[in-house]
């Protein structure tokens, strides 16, 4: 175990923010993890996976644990499906492509989502009609304070839209060490009903889609609309899409007949935050090196030397403007670390 001091996290967060950690330890085995945890107070730890869903606003006066556990294991296999146990530190997109190559179906729509396998359940990552919970079986986690290992079943995870027990009841208490997925080996359920996917498949001249062609379509769509974090720092969607009552939506629709929406139930409607932000005039704007992406208003970006505080200030300005203009509170999807 190698503890580094005053360690720059620039290469460990996808916003590319040059923030220093008082101590930094990269753990590669579970034994490493428990041993390192024994040496620090639970309240003085910050857990880092792919660093793709956090905004670091100042130097971290704690020990940062970089979870670098690796490995994929087939637990069980039938003609129809495969049960895979994957270590938390595996890169999410690499895992998706590994499955696509083996014709394991279920996560092809989640290609190119930044982050690691171990953080995917925390916010129940989702895109193009698929959510992590659709393939999730259980995950193993370690309690930071007691060091006890525990399995969380799918039911216990209490998954919702970009939400789980790890963001609510047990927030900050556990480190996820591995995740078990069930994927299909044949008769895949292909999700192509999301408008942009159908259009992209047509563009690729695909009439009979496979999991590979869907992954390729998703990659093409994301590359066109979303900035690559290794080129422009970002954290994907910065805000959640707000869920509002049908009654309130009807009023909004009278004023803005072209507002896109997604009906969740007879009483609830989800509206795209990106549309609201664009309407409020923020798309493509820059405040120093902090900005709103020019092709997707839901994504805040660091054009180079922005600080976490500057990005947060921009996020708050957007929140306030949307509140004033539409009377809707935008909730941040990204974790603000202060």
List the catalytic residues: 162, 237, 333
Rama region for 103: left / alpha / beta (φ>0; ψ in -120 to 50; rest): left
Nearer to ligand EPU, 84 or 269 (CB): 269
92 contacts ligand EPU (rule: CB under 6 A): no
Among 14, 95, 240, 315, binds ligand EPU (CB under 6 A): 240
Residues 308-337 that bind ligand EPU (CB under 6 A): 333
Neighbouring residues of 76: CB distance < 8 A, sequence distance ≥ 6:
82, 83
The number of C-alpha atoms within 13 Å of 103 and in the hemisphere containing its C-beta is 8
* Torsion 322-324-328-332 (CA) sign: positive
Residues 93-132 that bind ligand EPU (CB under 6 A): 127-128
Nearest residue to 301 via CA among 310, 292, 309: 292
Q: Which stretch binds ligand EPU (CB under 6 A): 2-10, 81-89, 94-102, 290-298?
A: 290-298
237 contacts ligand EPU (rule: CB under 6 A): yes
Beta carbons within 10 angstroms of residue 153's beta carbon:
11
Among 16, 89, 272, 291, binds ligand EPU (CB under 6 A): 272
User: Cα(244)–Cα(178) distance, rounded to whole angstroms?
Assistant: 35
Nearer to ligand EPU, 78 or 189 (CB): 189
Among 82, 164, 283, 311, binds ligand EPU (CB under 6 A): 283
Residues 12-31 that bind ligand EPU (CB under 6 A): none
User: Cα(164)–Cα(99) distance, rounded to whole angstroms?
Assistant: 24
Q: Which stretch binds ligand EPU (CB under 6 A): 65-73, 166-174, 197-205, 273-281?
A: 273-281
Q: What is the DSSP string of 126-182?
A: EETTEEGGGTEEEEEEEETTT--EEEEEHHHHT-BTTB-GGGTTTTTTEEEEEEEEE
Query: CB of 156: closest distance to ligand EPU in angstroms?
Result: 23
Q: Which stretch binds ligand EPU (CB under 6 A): 2-10, 69-77, 292-300, 313-321?
A: 292-300
Query: CB of 192: closest distance to ligand EPU in angstroms?
Result: 13
User: Cα(124)–Cα(132) distance, rounded to whole angstroms?
Assistant: 5
Number of residues that bind ligand EPU (CB under 6 A): 16
Query: CB of 295: closest distance to ligand EPU in angstroms?
Result: 7
User: Cα(336)–Cα(56) distance, rounded to whole angstroms?
Assistant: 6
Q: What is the DSSP string of 275-321?
A: HHHHHTT-TT-EETTEEE-SS-TTEEEE-SS--HHHHHHHHHHHHHH
236 contacts ligand EPU (rule: CB under 6 A): yes
Nearest residue to 273 via CA among 297, 301, 295: 297
Nearer to ligand EPU, 65 or 128 (CB): 128
179 contacts ligand EPU (rule: CB under 6 A): no
Q: Which stretch binds ligand EPU (CB under 6 A): 77-85, 133-141, 269-277, 318-326?
A: 269-277
In the complex, which residues of this chain contact ligand EPU (CB under 6 A)? 127-128, 236-237, 240-241, 260, 272, 274-275, 278, 283, 296-298, 333
């Amino acid at each position: 175990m190698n503890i580094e001091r005053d360690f720059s996290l620039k290469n460990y967060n996808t916003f590319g923010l040059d923030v220093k950690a008082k101590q930094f330890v990269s753990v590669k085995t579970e034994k490493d993890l428990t041993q390192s945890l024994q040496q620090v107070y639970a309240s003085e730890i910050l857990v880092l996976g792919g660093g793709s869903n956090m905004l670091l606003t100042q130097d971290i006066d704690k020990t940062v644990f970089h979870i670098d556990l690796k490995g994929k294991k087939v637990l069980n296999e039938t003609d129809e499906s495969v049960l895979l146990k994957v270590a938390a530190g595996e890169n999410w997109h690499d895992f998706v492509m590994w499955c696509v190559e083996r014709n394991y179906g279920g996560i092809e729509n989640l290609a190119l989502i930044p982050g690691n396998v171990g953080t995917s359940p925390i916010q129940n990552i989702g895109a193009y009609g698929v959510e992590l919970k659709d393939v999730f079986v259980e995950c193993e986690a370690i309690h930071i304070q007691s060091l006890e290992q525990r399995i969380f079943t799918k039911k216990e995870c209490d998954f919702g839209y970009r939400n789980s027990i790890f963001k609510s009841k047990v927030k900050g208490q556990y480190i996820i060490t591995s995740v078990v997925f069930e994927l299909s080996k044949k008769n895949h359920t292909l999700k192509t009903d999301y408008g942009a996917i159908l259009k992209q498949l047509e563009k690729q001249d695909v009439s009979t889609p496979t999991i590979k062609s869907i992954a390729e379509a998703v990659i093409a769509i994301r590359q066109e609309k979303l900035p690559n974090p290794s080129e422009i720092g970002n954290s994907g969607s910065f805000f959640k899409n707000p869920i509002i009552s049908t009654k309130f939506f009807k009023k909004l629709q009278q004023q803005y007949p072209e507002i896109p929406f997604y009906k969740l139930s007879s009483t609830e409607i989800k509206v795209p935050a990106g549309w609201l932000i664009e309407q409020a005039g923020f798309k493509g704007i820059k405040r120093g090196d902090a900005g709103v992406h020019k092709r997707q208003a839901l994504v805040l970006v660091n054009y180079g030397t922005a600080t976490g505080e500057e990005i947060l200030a921009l996020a708050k300005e957007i929140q306030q403007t949307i509140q004033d203009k539409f009377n809707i509170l935008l909730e941040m999807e990204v974790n603000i670390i202060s």
